[in-house]
A = this chain, B = another copy of it.
Amino acid sequence: MIRQKCVLLALLLAMPLSAAEDPDALQHRNAVAGWVQAHRQAILDELSVFVKLPNTATDADDIRRNAEHLQGLLERRGLEVQQLDVEGMPYVTARLRPEAPHPDGSPPTVLFYCHFDGQPVDPSRWTVAPPYEPTLVGGIDDPEARLYGRSSSDDKAPIVALLAAIDALRAAEVPPNIEARFIFDPEEEIGSPHLTTMVERHGELLTADLLIFADGPTHQSGRPTVVFGSRGIVTVTLTVYGAANALHSGHYGNWAPNPAEKLASLLASMKDADGRVVVEGFYDDVELLSPVERRAIDAIPPVEPGLQHDLLVARPDGGGNTLQQLINLPSLNVRGMASAWVGEHSRTIVPATATAELDLRLVKAIDPHEQVERIKAHAAKQGFHVVEEEPDAATRRQHAHVVLIETGHGTPAARTPMDTPASRALIEAVQRAVTVEPVLMPTLGGTGPLHQFESALGMPVYGVPIVNFDNNQHAPDENLRLGNLWDGIVIYASLLRFPAIGRD
């Protein structure tokens, strides 16, 4: 099995067979896994206490409490911790020095990235338990059991997994033998607006041979996953205007322009029936995948039929392309839409405004700003007068169709080639820790600030996600599958004994 796996990888990446067959590696793996098995309750308790802390990035007090708590967890393990105030945002960094000799002499330095903030919550929509009351559904012996709570998987589980990996390695007497550095982001879910400043000011704390993002879900197959990049994102808010105020739909219906209907028309004009974006130039700058990346995508197990069944999707968008192919394209998503009221609060009015929130996911080489400009040009082509600030009365009296287009923080995509020495060493490290073929994804669908590190620190960036894909990340009832946590600790332990990075 191990041989077969390595042959496949070798074919895919033309890499040498290596430590995956190392009997020491197998022994270390088993020792770590045994320790995890014996300490599941304590690990879960550590995660639960952390999840109890509300962590919306916009609440400074909550975020500060999370930073303090995290600092305690790290210092308890003897890491050198610095809590940095970056324009009011408490970034936390930590350093773990090698505790054993590296077999290849000079040990590599690996920077790990996690974030401890979470998406906002609407408690009324959480059905299993309130968002900050971590609740285990199922027994601790059952790998399918789930811990519910905001950030139970995104992204507090990876933090706790890294800490447990240190504990496990030390207990197994194969302690970390590399220099590990850590950056814990307090504002990832709002686009890490201070991260660039943080890196500029404190780059010396972050110097490393490579960066590993400990964030995001594994591939839907549940297999261990290595990602070589992530999509970027830019958010856009569209607001369409009707009359100056809401009007009685009886006295004005047929006469008063309806902003919800105008917004609907504008949104409907952006895609074809397959969900392909018809905004001019939307796909123009896409940097094509390399042959290695295309082969990697082809090797990823198909998950679409199962997903369609579980998610009740009769026909996905994308015109028959696979999910992995589609993730390597930019997307346009209406993530929210509102005009007046629905449900019990609805009333018989012509609404005054209608709003849509879009997120535009980006792939390598697409500029966030230019992508938004394409949306603006499209709206103008549909007959809208596009403004970037709240339109005044004169503007609204002059133009029948007015849309306010506001742009949020933009993060470009990143994509590291899969066949560099660092990439090969990472694949080897993950391989040593697992018993099934890992999934190698050129691009994670989600967005982390990979591009910012790549451009600011000039190091290759990767992701090693560990949490379950069906974790309701960013949504109500976020959860973590326990089996993913236990396996993740073993993988992260292997990364803390990272192999030597060869030369090209």
Interface residues of A (CB under 8 A from B): 58, 119-120, 122, 216-217, 230-231, 233, 235, 237, 241-258, 260-261, 263-265, 267-271, 275, 308-318, 323, 326-327, 329, 331-351, 354-357, 359, 361, 393, 396-400, 444-447, 469, 472-477
Contact = CB atoms under 8 A, between A and B. Distances in A.
Given A249-B359, A336-B339, A336-B351, A317 B472 contact: no
Contacts of A245: 311, 472, 475, 477
Contact of A357 (B244, B246, B323, B342): B342
B271 A261 contact: yes
Given A312-B244, A340-B337, A326 B254 contact: yes
Contact of A315 (B317, B337, B351, B400): B400
A122 B253 CA distance: 22
19 contacts: A122-B341, A231-B250, A242-B313, A245-B477, A246-B474, A248-B445, A249-B335, A250-B445, A250-B446, A253-B331, A253-B333, A253-B361, A254-B326, A257-B316, A260-B336, A312-B393, A314-B397, A336-B346, A343-B357
Nearest to A309: B397
Contacts of A339: 334, 336-338
A250 B233 contact: yes
Contact of A317 (B257, B323, B343, B474): B257
Given A251-B445, A264-B267, 20 more contacts: A120-B344, A242-B313, A245-B475, A249-B333, A255-B323, A256-B316, A257-B316, A258-B275, A258-B317, A260-B356, A261-B271, A261-B334, A264-B265, A313-B397, A314-B396, A335-B351, A336-B340, A337-B338, A337-B339, A347-B475
A361 B250 contact: yes
Given A249-B359, A261-B271, A244 B311 contact: yes
A246 B310 CA distance: 13
A30 to B, nearest CB: 32
Given A335-B349, A338-B338, A359-B348, A248 B326 contact: no
A331 B267 CA distance: 22
B331 A335 contact: no
Contacts of A327: 251, 254-255
Contacts of A338: 337-339, 341-343
A472 B248 CA distance: 8
Contacts of A354: 337
Given A261-B267, A334-B264, A251 B58 contact: no
A346 B350 contact: no
A114 to B, nearest CB: 17
Residue among A344, A354, A357 with the highest chain B CB neighbour number at 10 A: A357
A393 to B, nearest CB: 6
Given A254-B275, A317-B256, A475-B246, A335 B356 contact: no
The 4 closest A-B pairs by CB, nearest first: A250-B446, A253-B331, A251-B445, A254-B326
A233 to B, nearest CB: 7
A335 B257 CA distance: 12
A165 B251 CA distance: 27
Contact of A469 (B251, B253, B258): B251
